[in-house]
Amino acid sequence: MEDKGVRFKIRRALRWFWWQVKYLFALVFSRKLVAKCGHNTRIKDKVSAFGDYVLTELPVNDDGSVDYCHKCIEKMAIQCAWCGKPIFIGARITLYSPTAKYQVPEYAVTYNHDPSFRLVLVGCVRSTCTDFGSFDASGVWAPPGEVQRIPRVEELLLASGAKAAIVSGDSVTLVK
């Protein structure tokens, strides 16, 4: 048991060290510019919220500009409706409905375009999140703080009227 604890501590220390190296590289080499929100920013920088942090690379527009700085992106982070951990801009998300028994936390973000439809909550895809078995990412958390849907294979099939879909990794080929 003792041995396992030590190994865990070493792994955690290594991970922390590797994170610091990546962060240092971002600080030194990442391009600096003024984002459209009006703030000075780097292309790559640290974003933290609700006790967690990530390195985020800002999406660059075709003309080389960026829409938001990291401080503004940071404010768009939300908490997972199930485990409460942060969901940062750019993170993949799940859309699940709670059972009647589930006490929906106050910070939960709902995803409902049609109020007559079932309640759908925005959740994270962490393996440590509440036990759903497997995670089916149905979107990405995007600026200014909304769900950008990734159509599922069934939805693509329905919309296109194709006979079948060949799924290979991230790509889907529709068979008419």
Q: Which of 55, 70 has the CB closer to Zn ion?
A: 70
Q: Which of 34, 167 has the CB closer to Zn ion?
A: 34
Q: Which residues bind Zn ion (CB under 5 A)?
A: 37, 39, 69, 72, 80, 82-83, 124, 129
Cβ neighbour number for residue 157 with a 10 Å cutoff: 17
CB of 16 to Zn ion, least distance (A): 22
Q: Which of 91, 124 has the CB closer to Zn ion?
A: 124
Asked whether the bond before 105 is cis by omega within 30 degrees of 0, the reply is no
CB of 131 to Zn ion, least distance (A): 11
CB of 35 to Zn ion, least distance (A): 5
CA distance 124 to 144: 18
Distant-in-sequence, close-in-space partners of 163: CB < 8 Å, separation ≥ 6: 175, 176
Q: Which of 52, 155 has the CB closer to Zn ion?
A: 52
Q: Which of 147, 157 has the CB closer to Zn ion?
A: 147
CA triple 146-151-156, angle to 5 deg: 155
CB of 142 to Zn ion, least distance (A): 16
Return the sign of the alpha-carbon dihedral for residues 98, 103, 107, 110. positive
CB of 117 to Zn ion, least distance (A): 22
CA neighbor of 142 nearest in space, from 86, 80, 94, 73? 73
